[in-house]
Amino acid sequence: MKRLSTLTVLIFLCLGAWAQNGQITGTVRDANTNEPLIGANIIVANSSTGTSTDENGTFSLNVKAGEVTLEASYVSYQTMRLSVTVAEGVTIRQDITMEPLGVIGEEVVVSGSKKPEKLTESPATIETVFAREIQSYAGNPAELIARQKGIDYFRAGIATPAFNIRGFNSNFNSKNLQVTDGRFSTLVATGLPFGPLNTTIKEDIERVEVVLGPNATMYGPNAHNGLLNTVTKDPRTSEGTMITLNAGVSGDGDPLYSVRARHANVINDKFAFKIMGEYTQATEFEWADSIFIDRLDANGNLRGTPEYAGPDGIAEGYEELELDRGVDFTKLEGALYYTPTDDLEFVLNSGYSNSNYLSPTNVGRNQIKDWSIFYTQLRVNYKNLFAQVYYTKSATDDTYSIDDRTKAYYTGIDLLGLSDAEARGDFSYSTGARFRDDSDRINAEVQYNNTFGNLELIAGGQWQQDRANSLGSYLIEDPKLNSFYDGGAIVVNQYGGYAHLTYNFGGGFKALAAARADYHDVYEFNFVPKFGLLKVGGRGTWRLTYGKGIAAPTILNMFGDLFSGLILGNAEGFTVLADNPETPDVIETAEVAPQRVEQLQTFELGYRGQLVKNKLFLDANAYYNISKDFLSPVTVVGVATERGGVPIAEVQSGFATYGGLVATYINFGEVNTYGVDIGLNYYFTPEISAYANYSYFDYSVDEDNLENDFNNDGVVNFLDILVNAPTHKMGFGLNYNGPKFSAGVFGRWVQAYDYFSSFQIASQTHEGLLWRGRPIVENARSTDAFNYGPLGGFTTFDLNLGYQINERYQVNLSAVNVFNQEIREFTAAAPTKGIYTVEFRVNLAPKKD
């Protein structure tokens, strides 16, 4: 046994002396081939204790002394149950063999109820990607999410894969919550998911769980349309050193590569740790956006390129200024696990990332420059209690809006006669193009879970304090204008408490009742309930659920100050000038209400289980949503005279230019959405399987209710609702997973659909209709953006191959968009093409049986 250093012993001596754990270790193998099974789930029955096997099929569990029942489950294998007697302080070995043709769907997930439970018995619709799939796939693991049903997946560039669930997407979408190991992985001020900024590397992912629909009772505001939860590996069950080399090429012919390393080590029966790192470099797809400016030059002539001119012939367009297509990511992460007794566990983990890439927004692309993320997290498990506290920091000094900087540059050249050097310098940032950030967040949570006879209880409380600091670049940071600004940051607290009850009536019937109460410093109190009924059968589970979710305004929504006050946050409301044709000589005003939370109610019926025993598996749901008080994308509300009772000239730094013209965020309307998601898996043999999925999504709206008239044109139509999702989409694939070799082909069809997001548009021609004052014409200018036509409308194929040479070496190949089609998947982003990658992995220290 390895010895601890004296310093390490002293650090943890204060935690006291605790009784020894009982420990079970072993290897899970295929009963026929004797090959180890990677990613098999091992849980202790009727407890929250569980783990999964590592890349060598081995596992290790700390358990209470006495007799315990282990359950081992794995896709396409029969679930194994066996009793093991463990003495205090003793480690015993228990190998497990599993027979093929098991019940798929018995994988263990945690996102639905914040506790381990079988996928088939979760009260939520959950899509899963497990370590085995990730390990045998050479590309970005986010591409595997595209293969799941019910998810609108798109690549907004080579470095920015993203997803949306059940409609209402935008170029600034904070309605899908990203969680990693129980902590929120979202930016402080904008609420946007970290996405490529996340610190986790591919080799440390145990599984990804995607919850379709609201799960707000457990996770709070913004677990609204959906939730993506990444669970990382435990070093005690994934010991060893892995180095991975990726090399590839994009459809443009540009190279890409990545180097990643992970080391996990069990020091003794109490201590284990892991450290990880990554460096990735690539080049964004070749494309430059067109940027339009409505003005004449100093001589009264239009300056521009005719190919960008709109149908009215008076538009001019410029390519993005100083576009940097370079992409790189640096990631570092580590964790220390300390288990003094079988009842007590401490996990301390921390991570850092630094990123450079192009990111689409509602007003064009941002050039992300040295955006860094840092976090540190402490988790404690003690018997039926879980507690955590974590700190998250976001920082950048030089990120900027390419769109706004380009406009400023050509204004300096054409109207002011500046030299190229003068226009490219500080002047190009003078209207607020540069974004700086020095924000942080503190979160704390305590949770209790227990079983009382047939009743399971999960209850907890959460606190979050956001400290948003834009260093004067994009937020209202003046105590006279913002009462939440304390001189160093905008400080906003929110508090939440939740309870989750499940009662087992017997005969397979379970009922769920859950509720959550939240209080926010700005938008105050909200209550979120959830109810459900489950019928667990021998081959599957029926579930009927009702849930409510809320999407909360972000700090940017509430206190934004972008582009010299052209865009202002709406925490306190505005007074705007109102035109009245009957009294043209009288100045009249109207009130724009402060933004409040968006509300969503979801009714869902689902089934997950076998149609043909051990062969055909069905996972299907039908849902009906009632959404009201939409959080709008940024929209022009008119010429303001006041914001929160303060004259607009004192708020808007660019008042001399804009004259009080303001764009902001509002609530509006009510709409009903509904849909169906169907997934089928068929196993020809334990190794060969096929799958297909289909999703349908549509909406209905009261066209006579002018509260739904978002654009205030007197007519309610699709331009007000902004569904921004395809009605139909399908996926299909064929997989082979053998002990050494794996292969798969995946096809995806996405119906063409119109997309509108503030300044961004992707639409077919709609005669007689306007978007932000201009005709909607395909392949023509539409205000500040060029309309290249609808998104989607493609069928694409992916291919992956993997080969386990031996226990030390593995090689994988992947081809995303294998035929290198040019596909428009998002606005303010390059058309995507193929990505072809080869991956070579070395396990330098495989564990021995």
For 409-450, write each residue's pLDDT tens digit.
988 988 888 999 999 999 999 988 999 999 999 999 999 999
CB environment 505-517: b (16+ within 10 A), e (fewer): eeeeebebebbbb
Q: What is the mean pLDDT of residues 744-773?
A: 93
DSSP string, 85-118: EE-TT-EEE--EEE-BS--TT--EE-TTTTS-EE
For residues 69 and 45, is the Cβ–Cβ distance under 8 A? Answer: yes
For residues 385 and 447, is the Cβ–Cβ distance under 8 A? Answer: yes
What was the pLDDT predicted at 33?
63
What was the pLDDT predicted at 423?
94
Residue 3 has pLDDT above 70, yes or no: no
Structure tokens at 401: 């809006």
What was the pLDDT predicted at 31?
75
Residue 748 has pLDDT above 60, yes or no: yes
Residue 6 has pLDDT above 70, yes or no: no
Report the run of H or E that residue 10 belongs to, with start and end. helix 6-13
Residue 673 has pLDDT above 70, yes or no: yes
Better-scored residue on pLDDT, 510 or 32: 510
Judge whether 65 lies within some domain.
Answer: no
Residue 808 has pLDDT above 50, yes or no: yes
Report which of 797, 673, 551, 696 is spatially closest to residue 150, judged by C-alpha positions.
696
Task: Give percent above pLDDT 70 in the chain.
Answer: 90
For residues 633 and 551, is the Cβ–Cβ distance under 8 A? Answer: no
Indicate which CATH number applies to the domain containing 723.
Answer: 2.40.170.20
- What CA–CA distance (Å, rounded) separates 604 from 64? 39
Judge whether 595 lies within some domain.
Answer: yes
Q: Which of 84-93, 395-404, 566-575 has the lowest mean pLDDT?
A: 84-93
Distances (CA, A) of 328 to 286, 331, 353: 16, 10, 11
Better-scored residue on pLDDT, 565 or 226: 565
Residue 167, amino acid? G
Q: pLDDT category, 316, cuts 50, 70, 90?
A: low
Which of 132-141, 222-231, 431-440, 711-720 shows the highest mean pLDDT? Answer: 431-440
What was the pLDDT predicted at 32?
64
- What CA–CA distance (Å, rounded) separates 845 from 420? 57
What was the pLDDT predicted at 55?
67
What was the pLDDT predicted at 11?
37
What was the pLDDT predicted at 215?
74
Q: pLDDT category, 556, cuts 50, 70, 90?
A: very high
Give 613-634 pLDDT, tens digit per residue.
878 999 999 999 999 998 887 8
Cα-Cα-Cα-Cα torsion 7, 13, 15, 20, nearest 10 degrees, comes to: 110
Give the domain range for residue 241.
125-288+323-753+791-843
Which of 48-57, 121-130, 457-466 shows the highest mean pLDDT? Answer: 457-466
What was the pLDDT predicted at 19?
41
Report the run of H or E that residue 238 belongs to, with start and end. none
Report which of 216, 227, 124 is spatially closest to residue 544, judged by C-alpha positions.
124
What was the pLDDT predicted at 7?
37
Residue 532, amino acid? G
- What CA–CA distance (Å, rounded) separates 220 from 518? 8
For residues 180 and 388, is the Cβ–Cβ distance under 8 A? Answer: no
DSSP string, 791-804: B--EEEEEEEEEEE
Question: What mean pLDDT is reported for the chain?
Answer: 87
CA dihedral for 689, 690, 696, 697, sign (positive or negative): positive
Residue 800 has pLDDT above 80, yes or no: yes
- What CA–CA distance (Å, rounded) separates 101 from 614? 5
Report which of 717, 765, 742 is spatially closest to residue 813, judged by C-alpha positions.
742
Q: pLDDT category, 310, cuts 50, 70, 90?
A: very low
Q: What is the mean pLDDT of residues 51-60?
A: 80
- What CA–CA distance (Å, rounded) separates 670 from 627? 6
Report which of 102, 93, 88 is spatially closest to residue 70, judged by C-alpha positions.
93
- What CA–CA distance (Å, rounded) separates 292 from 430? 18
Query: How many folded domains does the chain comprise?
Result: 1
Give 377-399 pLDDT, tens digit per residue.
999 999 899 999 999 999 999 99
Residue 295 has pLDDT above 80, yes or no: no
What was the pLDDT predicted at 307?
40
What was the pLDDT predicted at 371?
98
Q: What is the mean pLDDT of residues 777-781?
A: 89
Distances (CA, A) of 534 to 124, 478, 604, 618: 11, 52, 12, 16
Judge whether 598 lies within some domain.
Answer: yes
Judge whether 119 lies within some domain.
Answer: no
Q: What's 829's DSSP letter?
A: S
- What CA–CA distance (Å, rounded) separates 583 from 609? 67
Judge whether 467 lies within some domain.
Answer: yes
What was the pLDDT predicted at 222?
72
CA dihedral for 164, 166, 170, 175, sign (positive or negative): negative
Q: Which of 60-74, 199-213, 229-243, 402-416 has the lowest mean pLDDT?
A: 60-74
Judge whether 593 lies within some domain.
Answer: yes
Which of 13-17, 332-336, 553-557, 823-827 shows the highest mean pLDDT? Answer: 332-336
Residue 201 has pLDDT above 60, yes or no: yes
What was the pLDDT predicted at 14?
37
End-to-end CA distance of the chain: give it in Å, rounded: 16
Judge whether 85 lies within some domain.
Answer: no
Judge whether 306 lies within some domain.
Answer: no
Report which of 746, 540, 572 is spatially closest to residue 665, judged by C-alpha positions.
572
Helix, strand, coil distribution of the chain in percent, nearest 5: 10, 55, 35
